[in-house]
Amino acid sequence: MAQVQSLRAGPVRVLRVIGELDAVTVPDVAEKLDEALLTFEEVLLVVDLTQVTFIASAGVGALVRIRQKVQQRQGRLIMILPLQGRARRLFELTRMIDHFEVHLTLPGAMSALRPHEAHRLLSEKPEPTPSPTPTPTPPRP
């Protein structure tokens, strides 16, 4: 059985998958991932797989579909994969790790998103500020 914990950190949705991600549990997990996409205007999604004890190809397929949906909405998806574990091995063996932005920890993933937010805020056109009217200098006698 798999569980999905959902956390929100500002504009970022973090989904922590716990347990086994196989053909039986994928539909429920995929539904929760889809719900996360529907609840945010700007899609900044972190999927934490550090507590996944088993992952089958069906789980990888669900994550690929979510990645495609995030890309269609011009969002960003980051996966957290520890250096050790079945999830990491499967992503490396299938070379799917090359198709995802991967970080080792949640703090690492969150700090990677900060430049993205800064870029978005900087790319918005600021409201023009009125220029101060120069004080006329009196004519010299």
Residue ranges of domains in the chain: 2-106
| SS3 per residue for the chain | CEEEEEEEECCEEEEEEEEEECCCCHHHHHHHHHHHHHCCCCCEEEEEEEEEEEECHHHHHHHHHHHHHHHHCCCEEEEECCCCCHHHHHHHHCCHHHHCEEECCHHHHHHHHHHHHHHHHHHCCCCCCCCCCCCCCCCCC
pLDDT for 32-44, tens place per residue? 888 877 776 778 8
Q: What is the pLDDT at residue 79?
A: 94
Fold for the domain defined by 2-106: Transcription Regulator spoIIAA (3.30.750)
pLDDT for 80-103, tens place per residue? 999 988 889 999 998 999 999 999
Low-confidence ranges of the chain (pLDDT < 70): 40, 115-141
Q: What is the pLDDT at residue 9?
A: 80
